Each structure stands twice: as structure tokens, then as C-alpha cells.
Amino acid sequence: MRRKKACYMQARLCVPITALSQIQEAKRWADILEFRLDAPGLSDVAELEQSISSLSTPSIFTLRSSKEGGFSILPPKKRVLELKKYLTLVPEYFDVELQDAVHLPELRKMCSSKTKFILSNHDFQKTTNNL
């Protein structure tokens, strides 16, 4: 009888960044940095670009709605417009909420081919049955 090989993944630490002042400390510990673009401390694209220009730690950009645990109260279409401002910074990953998935093809066209997309859903009441 042939045994199945076990699949092991290396654990990685992702640290959320809500202000530019957190980057230096976080990169000491993090394998990846999640830039919460919905946080008031990360609203200036030029400042963010300058802060991450020499960063060697991989990054995820996220603009989370308040319905999914974030700070953004923008309606979905305006939130997607806000995301577009950050596309030129070429993060390794862009986290897009499931409710905004309809805009994914448009965002992908505007983004570097190096950027990968994460489609996420946050339900604080239950876990879906069809993961």
C-alpha cells in the first residue's frame, strides 16, 4: 500500500501596519507586512511609497471596509477607486474583499504582473461551509 505524502507548510508571521512609524519595528519580526490602507495613518500615497521603496520584506496591501473589520466607510465603488491610487507601488499581494470581486479584472489590468491577488471574506458571525 502506497502512503500519501504529508504536505507541510512553513509558518510565516504577517504583521499589520496601520501607521508608517510601525514599519521599522515590524520588519524586524515579520515575514510579510500587511499595509492597512484603510487606516488613517496610511492615507498619503507619496509618503507610503517613500517608506517602502527600500523595503525587502514582502507586502500585502489591504483596504478593508468597516463591515469586514476595517476602518473604511467608503461604498464599494469608491473604495475600489481608492485602491487604484496604490497600484503603482507594486506590492507582492493585493488583498481584495469578496464583495469587490466584480472589480478584480479591472484592478488586474492596472496592476503589475508581479502582484498577486488575495480574495478575502470576513464573516464574524460564522464560518462558511464551502471553503
Q: Mean pLDDT by 10-residue block, N- to C-terminus, for the chain (131 residues)?
A: 60 89 91 91 87 88 81 82 81 77 64 74 64 56
SS3 state of residue 45: helix
Sign of CA dihedral 49, 51, 54, 55: negative
Structural domain count, the chain: 1
Res 35: pLDDT: 94
Res 97: pLDDT: 73
Q: Is 4 among the domain residues? A: no
Q: Is 127 among the domain residues? A: no
**pTM for the model:** 0.76
Q: Is 31 among the domain residues? A: yes
Could you list the residue range(s) of the whole structural domain that residue 69 is in?
14-120
Q: Where residue 59 sits, what CATH number does that domain have?
A: 3.20.20.70
Res 69: pLDDT: 77
Closest residue by Cα to residue 88 from 124, 53, 128, 118 = 53
Res 108: pLDDT: 65
CA 88 to chain centre: 14
Cross-strand partners of 65: 72
Q: Is 82 among the domain residues? A: yes
